[in-house]
Amino acid sequence: PDAFYPSICERGKFHDVSESTHWTPFLNASVHYIRENYPLPWEKDTEKLVAFLFGVTSHMAADVSWHSLGIEQGFLRTMGAVDFHGSYSEAHSAGDFGGDVLSQFEFNFNYLARRWYVPVEDLLEIYKQLYGREVITRSA
């Protein structure tokens, strides 16, 4: 979901796409897309699409406690209070990047494939359904 944020891709041109991917409407569009296009029993590629979307859903759920979304106390809010004199925005900048760096240092990621499966064509169609128009292309 974070792939198209400004510091990572195209100077923020697709910021809204990344933001949309974090929320329930994207998940709903994904479920409707799968139901409309891939009847049971699923083939291997459909199973891989669903597994990919489980990862997106996991990211959505993790962001609730990480970013204090709808809850009083989450990781970044606490980090801001303890380490950044009450500044959530400073904690956010440090925490997002630091969390990625620390996890790379602390955990063994050797089990991850070097090449990731990204269901590009399906995602393009899901975004098209979500927005009602084409908002991102394969070349992005």
62-111: per-residue pLDDT in tens? Answer: 988 988 888 888 999 999 999 999 999 999 989 888 887 788 888 888 88
Q: What is the DSSP letter of 68?
A: T
Give 56 or 99, the one with higher predicted confidence. Answer: 56
Which is more confident, 95 or 11?
95
Q: Report pLDDT for 8.
A: 67
More confident residue, 113 or 40: 40
Long-range Cβ pairs for the range 96-104 (8 Å, 24+):
99/66
As a whole number of angstroms, the distance between CA 51 and CA 38 comes to: 14
* For the chain, percent of residues with pLDDT exceeding 90: 56
Residue 13 pLDDT more than 70?
Answer: yes
Count CA atoms within 13 Å of residue 90 on its CB side.
Answer: 9
The position carrying tokens 């991850």 is: 112
Question: Over the range 78-104, which residues count as b (16 or more CB within 10 Å of their CB) and which as e?
Answer: ebbeeebeeebeebbebbeeeeeeeee
Distance, CA of 44 to CA of 49 (rounded, Å): 9
- The per-residue pLDDT of the chain, averaged, comes to 90
